[in-house]
Amino acid sequence: MTRALLSAVVLVAVILAGGRSANAVSPHSFESRGAPRTTHRWLLGRSEQGRPIVALRVGDSQGIRVLVVGCIHGNEGAGIAVVRALERRRTRFDLWLVPNLNPDGFVRGTRQNGRGVDLNANWSSQWRGGGRPWDTYYPGPYPFSERETRIGRDLILRVRPRVTIWFHQHMNLVWAWGPSTAAGRIYARAAGMRFYHHHWLRGTATNWQNHHLPNSASFTVELPAGSLALQQVRRQVHAVLTLAAALHGRAHA
Q: Which is nearer to Zn ion, 128 or 160 (CB)?
A: 128
Phi, psi (rounded to 5 degrees) for 167: -90, 135
- Give the integer Cα–Cα distance in Å for 193 and 157: 29
Angstrom distance (rounded) from CA 72 to CA 54: 13
Q: Based on CB atoms, which residue is closest to Zn ion, 76 or 104?
A: 76
Of residues 94 and 222, the one with the C-beta less far from Zn ion: 222
Determine which residue in the list 57, 59, 65, 76 makes contact with Zn ion, applying CB under 5 A.
76
Residue 111 CB, nearest distance to Zn ion (Å)? 7
Give the count of alpha carbons within 13 A of 246, CB side only. 16
**Nearest Cα to Cα of residue 210 among 133, 126, 105, 129:** 126
Residues 225/169, Cβ–Cβ less than 8 Å: yes
Residue placing its CB nearer to Zn ion in the complex, 93 or 167? 167
Stretch that binds Zn ion, among 2-10, 20-28, 69-77, 141-149 (CB under 5 A): 69-77
Please give the Cα distance from 220 to 222 (Å, whole number): 6
Amino acid identity, position 120 = N
Give the contact letters, 135-164, x = binds to Zn ion (CB under 5 A), - = no.
------------------------------
Per-residue x/- track, 86-105, Zn ion (CB under 5 A): --------------------
Q: Which stretch binds Zn ion (CB under 5 A): 76-84, 142-150, 192-200, 211-219?
A: 76-84
What residues have CB less than 8 Å from 125, skipping those under 6 apart? Answer: 200, 202, 203, 204, 207, 208, 210, 211, 212
Which 184-243 residues touch Zn ion, going by CB under 5 A? none
Q: Among residues 139, 166, 168, 175, which is the contact residue for Zn ion, using CB under 5 A?
A: 168
CA triplet 128, 133, 134: central angle to 5 degrees?
A: 110
Give min distance, CB of 56 to Zn ion, in A.
22
CB 193, min distance to Zn ion, A: 15
Residue 168 CB, nearest distance to Zn ion (Å)?
3
Smallest gap from Cβ 76 to Zn ion, in A, equals 5
CB of 165 to Zn ion, least distance (A): 13
* Residue 73 within binding range of Zn ion, rule CB under 5 A: yes
Alpha-carbon distance 87 to 97, whole Å? 8
* Least distance CB 127 / Zn ion (angstroms): 17
- Which residues in the chain belong to E strands, given as ranges? 28-31, 38-46, 52-59, 65-69, 94-98, 163-169, 173-176, 194-197, 217-223
- The residue with its CB nearest to Zn ion is 168
Residues binding Zn ion (CB under 5 A): 73, 76, 168
